[in-house]
Amino acid sequence: MARSTAEIKKTMTDAFMADPAIREKYGLGEGDTWHGRFSSVSLENILFFIVAAGCHVLEVIFDRHKADVEEKVASAVVASVPWYHKTALAFQYGDALVFDDKTCRYGYAEADESKRVVRFAAVRDRGTSVQILVSGEKDNRPVALSNDVLTVFKQYMDRVKIAGVILNINSHESDRVTINAVITADPLILDSSGTLLKGGGKPVERAIEEYLKNIVYGGTFNKTRLVDAIQAVEGVEDVELGICRYRTDASAAWTEIKGNNYAGLSGSYIPEGLPNTLSYVV
């Protein structure tokens, strides 16, 4: 932000009055100030004012130039993965898009947070296409969009996307995950069912639920991080992870998770049957 002429001039006069050589030449005393020693019509004051005014005008020009550049950058469409992610979250159900002749882009006449039904989005560049996973929100968790809303969302993305780009848009209920594990527990902290002796509750089950809930939408289920989350629970001494399985909302069958990672179809995960799949050794 451009400084005023007075601010620039004060910076200059302060430096002038603090310079030892200047103070010696002008015979300035310890308590002398600029206004106390130089009148408004003095040559020094006039010169400083002229330079300060010139600097002020230059800073104003730079500010305007910066604003023009930022406006042009903001109006330019960069069809990157983050751009598609931001655009997906900006969807407003029930509002019409307006074409802007200046930017040649579609957008909403007015932003309305209450109409933004897409609360979670994940975008993956597949080379020949762009895959977009989206979900609404219920009880702070992802939930699949209804077919009616998803249809409108697809129309919205087709209109705002870059011409020629193929979009693959889906919305699914969270993948169900079963986790088999044998947990060695401290008998002074946990009982044989995994319940806290002091205060009650099932901290291991809670830790698993929190781990799955905190996986970034569209992220990957990782067995190593799961074990780390369980081992961080008070009273857990060791974890022997068994078979883990998943089931999508499109399938009734359970599939074993091979390897250390699983990238869910839906982008989010919910544990199922933990009281039956976790066993404790105390």
Question: Do residues 37 and 116 share a domain?
Answer: no
User: Which has the closest alpha carbon to 225: 236, 241, 201?
Assistant: 241
Question: Do residues 15 and 50 share a domain?
Answer: yes
Question: Do residues 225 and 194 share a domain?
Answer: yes
Residue-wise pLDDT tens digits, 39-93? 889 998 999 999 999 999 999 999 999 988 887 776 666 678 899 999 999 999 9
- Segment holding 98, helix H or strand E: strand 97-100
Question: Do residues 153 and 183 share a domain?
Answer: no
Question: Do residues 97 and 151 share a domain?
Answer: yes
The CB-side HSE value for 112 (13 A sphere, CA atoms) comes to 12
Q: Locate tokens 């088999």: which residue?
A: 180
Q: How many CB atoms are located within 10 Å of the residue 90 CB?
A: 15
For each of the chain's 282 residues, which pLDDT tens digit applies? Answer: 889 999 999 999 999 888 999 888 888 888 888 888 888 899 989 999 999 999 999 999 999 999 888 877 766 666 788 999 999 999 999 999 999 887 778 899 999 999 999 999 999 998 889 999 999 999 989 999 999 999 999 999 999 998 889 999 999 999 999 999 999 999 999 999 999 999 889 999 999 999 999 999 999 999 999 999 999 999 999 999 999 999 998 888 999 999 999 999 999 999 999 999 999 998
Question: Do residues 183 and 258 share a domain?
Answer: yes
Residue-wise pLDDT tens digits, 224-250? 999 999 999 999 999 999 999 999 988
Looking at 44, 75, 106, which one is the last position of a domain? 75
Question: Please, which residues have CB within 8 angstroms of residue 171's CB and are 6 or more apart in sequence?
Answer: 133, 134, 135, 144, 145, 150, 153
Hey, what amino acid is at 16?
F
- Segment holding 73, helix H or strand E: helix 43-75
Give the CA-trace dihedral at 66, 71, 75, 76, to 10 degrees: -10
- Is the separation of the CB atoms in 234 and 204 below 8 Å? no
Range of the domain at 166: 81-170
Torsion sign, CA atoms 244, 247, 253, 258 = negative
Q: Give dist(CA 275, CA 205) in Å, integer.
A: 8
Query: How distant, in Å, are the alpha carbons of 114, 158, 219, 268 from that of 134?
Result: 17, 15, 13, 10
Looking at 102, 135, 170, which one is the last position of a domain? 170
Q: Give dist(CA 256, CA 229) in Å, integer.
A: 21
Count of domains in the chain?
Answer: 3
pTM for the complete prediction?
0.69
Question: Do residues 238 and 277 share a domain?
Answer: yes
Question: Do residues 233 and 262 share a domain?
Answer: yes
Looking at 51, 75, 99, which one is the last position of a domain? 75
Question: Do residues 192 and 277 share a domain?
Answer: yes
